[in-house]
Amino acid sequence: VSFGFEEVSPEEKVSRVKGVFRSVASRYDVMNDLMSAGVHRLWKHDTIAKLNPQPGERLLDVAGGTGDLSKAFVDRADKVARRRGKAGEASAIVCDINDAMLDAGRARSDMAAYDSRIGWVCGDAQALPFEDRTFDALTIAFGIRNVADRAQALSEFRRVLKPGGRLAVLEFSHMTVPMLQKLYDTYSFNVIPRMGEIVASDRASYQYLVESIRKFPKQEDFRDEVEAAGFSGVSVTNFSGGIAALHFGWAA
Ligand code: SAM
């Protein structure tokens, strides 16, 4: 398994990834906004729009960190409920391997109103602590890149989704406009680690994030992986010229 440019064992990768996110947890939301100039919010908005949450549905937000997607899912389902006069409250579980990220999420002031709707569970994407066929939708945003055994995680996603459930994987990806590649490389290899140093006093973690993006499979290769795990109708939507991509599919 590769950790950035270094080859390490899967166990070592899990422990290092935990270390990275433990170290960035308290500044995580600020850094997300800074690094992407707030654009991650638009990508997340479009991801939830594609999922089309409905009243009464249950979402599992794997590697959910501080809970952005869960909150957006519940909000959007509530809008549908109001607009169409439908009954039922949507709910979400944020599942993350790192309790420091979950604590940072729970402590968010805008989460207080969601106490009864959003649950927080510590768990590994590769061995989800949930029964088969439990959820209507499953998201994982900027998380699959950190998982050592992606095939195992995808098979877990399929297991916990109900038949016909929707999967949305949002992840940094590869530029589709070659001319912008150089600009992007300069930004990611120089600016992001420097920002990490200044804002979070942690250059190494942000260096890791940049390198792991490079190592992640191209859009079409990851689509093959999602299909191989038993998802059908898998589509790819590129955001911002491929800086991020959404893979969306249906559990068989
Ligand atoms: N989804 C959130 C968002 O978009 O803001 C958080 C993304 S953050 C970049 C990646 C998260 O993945 C971290 O919170 C980290 O703890 C979590 N993570 C890493 N490996 C994991 C694993 N094997 N299982 C579950 N969560 C994991």
Per-residue confidence (pLDDT) for residue 21, from 0 to 100: 65
- Is 186 annotated as contributing to ligand binding? no
Share of the chain residues as helix, strand and coil, in percent rounded to the nearest 5:
55, 25, 25
One-letter amino acid at 236 equals V
Query: CA–CA distance from 234 to each of 79, 225, 230, 237, 252 (Å)?
Result: 27, 10, 10, 10, 11
Q: ipTM more than 0.95? A: yes
Establish whether residue 72 lines the binding site of ligand 1, counting it when its CB lies within 6 angstroms of any ligand atom.
Answer: no
**To the nearest whole number, what is the mean pLDDT of the chain?**
89
Q: What percent of the chain has pLDDT over 70?
A: 90
Pick the range with the lowest mean pLDDT from 129-133, 196-200, 246-250: 196-200
Pocket-testing residue among 13, 30, 146, 172, ligand 1, by greatest number of atoms within 8 A of Cβ: 146
Give the distance (Å) from ligand 1 centre to CA of residue 62.
7
Q: pLDDT tens, 214-227?
A: 899 999 999 999 99
Q: What is the mean pLDDT of residues 107-111?
A: 92
The ranges assigned to domains in the chain are 2-251
Question: What is the three-class DSSP state of 163?
Answer: strand
pTM of the model: 0.89
Q: pLDDT tens, 123-148?
A: 999 999 999 999 999 999 999 998 99
User: Which CATH number, 2.40.50.1020, 3.40.50.150, 3.40.640.10, 3.10.20.440, labels domain 2-251?
Assistant: 3.40.50.150
